[in-house]
Amino acid sequence: MRIFVPREANPDEARVPLIPATVQKLLALGAELQIEQGLGQSLFIADEVYEQTGAMIVSDRRQALAEADVVLRLNKPELEDIALLKRGAVHASLLDPFRNLELVTALAAAQVSALCMELIPRTTYAQKMDALSSQASLAGYAAVILAAERIDKALPMMTTPAGTIAPARVFIVGVGVAGLQAIATAKRLGARVEAYDTRPVVEEQVASLGAKFVKIDVGETGQTEQGYAKALTEEQLELQRQAMARFCANADIVITTAQLFGRPAPRIITAEMVAGMRPGSVIVDLAASTGGNVTGSQPDEEVIVGGVRIIGLSNLPGHVARDASQMYASNIANLIEHVWDKEAKAVALNLEDEIVSGSLLTHQGEIREPMIKELTERTEAS
């Protein structure tokens, strides 16, 4: 069975889906592995390095796409690439499916079996394939490093003959995978950290990292079976905003990471809250590309509003692209290993398997994820 890994379409993407260290894992399955010439260019990994590990370098990507049984990528494919794929080909990548319904429909229509990395179940066994978590963790780290670089003050307390510098105050909103790593990073840099999440279960995790959990009573909140936050009502969000204004005003750095599965991110930081912050302070909105937690944040831009710098860069894992690629390559190789039939030396998609069933977004012409299926049908009808 032939696996092909094309180059990323976006020239600004510094991450790659496969690194040389992971090639061996795929070859050990008995697969034939082709990679597109220049795959590792953004990380200064030469083709020869991949070649030495046993991968075959190909320059005709259209032909390679047309002949591949399995295609592995980091980000979603271009629509014209889907048309080239064989019927029944397996495609694995991040797809951002809720915001790319046309793409999902095209994958189904092309009879592609699309494994969607965002839909890997949040189970203990599947953790090694969970690219959302591996990338979110690095995004949390990178957000703090970026904020530390942009802010006009030092993060740790410093006692000097010229006086004492107070530690920076960092406020983290949303304590999932990214938020926890942001807390840990800010603490390591010596900041005073406060954090808030609607899921009360995270209070203990926040405390264990040496940060202070901010309690805001907004009534009934909760989480889904997969551990995702449930959406708050508009009244609850308003209560949350009122209580949070004080914490934002006191913070030098605010990092927001609040996401809702399959929905736009909740708008948490209002223009008034931004106006209440000290000029020179910094906000990093990790949700900028999914609707934004912060009023005024722009996807992939840094803007200054009333002296407050609002950073909305969406590809923060790309700031630590080498590590992010290593993690992603490991996630996707683990997924392929999981769906691989060792005797047949081929991918065998067992729909009874929880991981396959959860992540297989399109198969045999069908869209399998109910929420996405409904959304595509609604879009087609309108």
Binding-site ranges for ligand NAD (CB under 6 A): 122-124, 126-127, 130, 132-133, 136, 173-179, 196-199, 227-229, 232, 240, 257-261, 266, 268
Token pair for 12: 């600004």
- Residue 292 CA to residue 290 CA, distance in Å, equals 6
For residue 285, give the 3-state DSSP assignment. Answer: strand
Q: Which of 32/96 has CB closer to ligand NAD?
A: 96
Nearer to ligand NAD among residue 84 and residue 92 (C-beta): 92
Beta-strand pair 32-36/56-58:
parallel
The CB-of-213 to ligand NAD minimum distance in angstroms stands at 12
Shortest CB 237 distance to ligand NAD, Å: 6
CA 80 vs CA 223, 274, 289: distances in Å: 38, 42, 24
Least distance from ligand NAD to the Cβ atom of residue 7, Å: 28
Nearer to ligand NAD, 77 or 317 (CB): 317
Which residues are the active-site residues?
122, 127, 130, 133, 228
Instruction: Please identify, using beta-carbon distances, which residue of 42 and 257 lies nearer to ligand NAD.
Output: 257
Residue 81, both tokens: 């690439």
Structure tokens at 161: 């003959």
Phi/psi at 211 (nearest 5 deg)? -105, 170
Alpha carbon separation from 321 to 189, 231, 316 (Å, rounded): 21, 32, 9
Close Cβ partners of 189 (under 8 Å, ≥ 6 residues apart): 144, 148, 155, 156
Instruction: Give the residue closest to ligand NAD by C-beta.
Output: 176
Question: Which of residues 89 and 268 has its CB atom nearest to ligand NAD in the complex?
Answer: 268
Distance CA 3, CA 36 (A): 11
Closest CB 201 distance from ligand NAD, rounded Å: 7
